[in-house]
A and B are shown apart, each in its own frame.
Chain A
Amino acid sequence: MTRYLFRRLFLMMFVLLALSLLAFSLGYMFPGDIVQNLSGLRQIDENQRQQLVSYYQLDQNYLQQYLAFLNRIAHGDWGLSFASQQPLLQEIKLLLPATLELAAYALLLSFVIGIPLGIVAAFKPDSIIGKSISALAMIGYSLPIFWWGLLLIMFFSLALGLLPSAGRISVLYEIPHRSGFMLYDIWQADISYRTEALHNALQHLFLPTVVLATFPTTVMIRFVRDAMLNVWEQNYIKTARAKGLNRGQVLYRHGLRNALLPVIRQIGLQFSTLITLAMLTEVIFSWPGIGRWLIDSIYQRNYPAIQAGLLVISTMVITINMLTEILHAFFNPLARRG
């Protein structure tokens, strides 16, 4: 296991190195002035330009420039945003929790709904229940998420007026910023209107979570169903049945453990899709997360922000990928080889 861990960590370093190279070269590929793209400053006079050129080592060769870039990233100097002229790292720190909160709840919802439904669908694949679960999964799998979000807004927010359609919380409630995770912040805050604020935040959270969870849930249903059907054919299941265990025992002791193992890995593989979908969800529900910020950045030609967004989001996805792989290897000794 230790050897495996070291190998994985080494691999991760390699991938992160390649990522930093990509992010570094983006600064040169984006249109416009290189000094502006690196610093994020809009107006640069001649004096300042000289300073910046020597600071970024633009007069040196590319290797020197790359090392200077790595040094800056490590020290937290990520440049300024073209749009707000604020430090990028600061902005991202404020935005990232909102995205993570949304994605985490959606992922959780997809487990809670997807895994049991997948098992039920695998248990009796030819019954009406099994077939209708598969059909529902197929429909959810084919829905374009932005349209699905619009439909839900039209129905629940505009027609019925039950749920809010935008933002994280009503402007009536003032929540002191602590971690950036809304529910946690409300819980920790010392305010008299805690229950109302919590209720309001949950209402705001409901639609985006459902929309974002639709795709992962259907993937989970299909995946668990296929894995279950596959495991059910194996000889050790027959052995267990022959020993005299009843269906429930076989399912719990032999079926689930083997069928649910690959699910851990699936999380890592699906995570980058989840981020893409989260970006779209944020745009539709005006959720103040990093995805909407990135999409606004492209409308504003905010190149430093795009570079920083790439670094943050990809690092996050790589880390989650690696963690799920390690977790998978931890539970499944067979995966440690190779």
Chain B
Amino acid sequence: MSKFRLYLEENNRSPLTQLWREFKRQHSAMTGLILFIGFFIISLLAPLVTPHDPYLQVDELLLLPPSWSAAGLVQYPFGTDDLGRDLLSRMIKGTSYTFGFALITVAGALLMGLLLGALAGMSKGVKSSVFNHILDLALTIPSLLLAIIIVAIIGPGLINTTWAIMLALLPQFVHGIRNAIDEELKQDYVTAYRLDGANDWHVLSRLIIPNIWEKLTIMATMAISTAILDIAALGFLGFGAQAPLSEWGAMISDSLDLIYLAPSSVAIPGLLIFTAVLSVNLVGDGLKTAILKRRQS
């Protein structure tokens, strides 16, 4: 922190505006945000923007190469797969599976985590210590193993693995939220508010939640990137999305046996997963930096 403060401009804007100003200055974070919004819109509007039916099998156009090669057709920019389905449409549709389901998963995990974290953070003594140890156990089971167990019990499928990923994400949310609440409870203004007669619910809803939402956002972005990678990995292994769903990871494993004939059908879905995860990570990092800079100014 600098010793001298020069008040050259009015700096009494709302925290959110300040955050946005700091965020805007980072080009990488802005690129990430634009990509993120793009993926989000595509995942919402996927059924409307696909040029062809993603499940329609055209017998005359099997394994059409992408349009940049000489044999390709301009109507099928990324070509078709071995069943004659348009790859571009399948990838657009896949956005709502891989990216959209990741968002839903994280939203669910965040809500549950907030509930459990608040319970753990506001309770003391034996209850909180028992809670912690159960969490320790949950943290030690690798997410893929958890997914395997859930698939073994209730069978494969996109929804089932979503539950597995939600469960795997939950412990770190609860841990993070609990620690954040612990930190907040030590503040003097919480004591002052309590002396004014506030009960636990007041403290939680008026003081703690507004003060920890930034940490929540950062945790959520980290979790979204994990969720995308996990959904794609489970789809790749065949536990997640089942045929004919065009989840990106499942698309890679579908076209794996055609890797010599059509390498682009492996390369492009992977590139999409990578871009989606990168955009989320860029936004997360940008937010972290922006919050840090705002605190310093």
Contacts and interface: CB of A to CB of B under 8 A. Distances in A.
Interface of A: 11, 14-15, 18-19, 22, 26, 29-31, 138-139, 141-147, 150-151, 154, 272-273, 275-276, 279-280, 283, 291, 294-295, 297-299, 301, 303, 306, 309-310, 313-314, 317-318, 321
B144 A280 contact: yes
A317 B143 CA distance: 12
Contacts of B281: 138, 141-142
B181 interface: no
A272 B252 contact: no
Contacts of A29: 153
Contacts of B34: none
A144 B233 contact: yes
B280 to A, nearest CB: 8
Nearest to A303: B152
List of 6 A-B pairs having minimum Cβ-Cβ separation, nearest first:
A147-B270, A142-B278, A142-B277, A276-B144, A276-B142, A272-B142
Contacts of A295: 148, 237
Contacts of B267: 151
A154 B141 contact: no
A306 B153 CA distance: 11
A317 B133 contact: no
Given A146-B233, A146-B249, A147-B252, A139 B144 contact: no
Nearest to B273: A144
A141 B32 CA distance: 14
Nearest to B132: A11
A21 B137 CA distance: 11
A313 B148 contact: no
Size category of the binding interface on chain B:
35 or more
Contacts of B225: 141-142
Interface string B99-138: 0000000000000000000000000000000000110110
Interface of B: 133-134, 136-137, 139-145, 148-149, 151-153, 225, 229, 232-233, 236-239, 249, 252, 256, 259, 263, 266-267, 270, 273-274, 277-278, 281-282, 285
B145 A139 contact: no
Nearest to A316: B140
A27 B153 CA distance: 10
22 contacts: A31-B153, A141-B281, A142-B225, A142-B274, A142-B277, A142-B281, A143-B277, A144-B233, A147-B273, A150-B252, A276-B142, A276-B145, A279-B145, A280-B233, A295-B237, A298-B152, A299-B238, A306-B148, A306-B152, A309-B145, A313-B142, A317-B141
Given A15-B140, A141-B281, A142-B278, A150 B145 contact: no
B277 A144 contact: yes
Contact of A18 (B137, B142, B259, B278): B137
B282 A147 contact: no
A283 B133 contact: no
A303 to B, nearest CB: 6
Contact of A138 (B144, B252, B285): B285
A314 B140 contact: yes
A30 B152 contact: yes
Contacts of A298: 148, 151-152, 239
A280 B145 CA distance: 11
The CB with the most chain B CB atoms within 10 A, among A14, A298, A314, is that of: A298
A139 B225 CA distance: 12
Contacts of B285: 138
Contacts of A138: 278, 281-282, 285
Contact of A15 (B133, B149, B236): B133
Given A138-B278, A145-B229, A314-B141, 18 more contacts: A14-B133, A19-B140, A22-B137, A30-B152, A144-B229, A144-B233, A145-B233, A146-B249, A272-B140, A275-B145, A279-B142, A294-B148, A295-B148, A298-B152, A314-B140, A317-B141, A318-B137, A318-B140
Contact of B274 (A143, A273, A294, A303): A143
Contacts of B232: 144, 146
Contacts of B239: 298
Contacts of B263: 154
Contact of A272 (B139, B233, B237, B273): B139
Contacts of B277: 142-144
A294 B142 CA distance: 13
Given A30-B153, A138-B282, A141-B281, A272 B249 contact: no
B137 A15 contact: yes
A275 B142 contact: yes
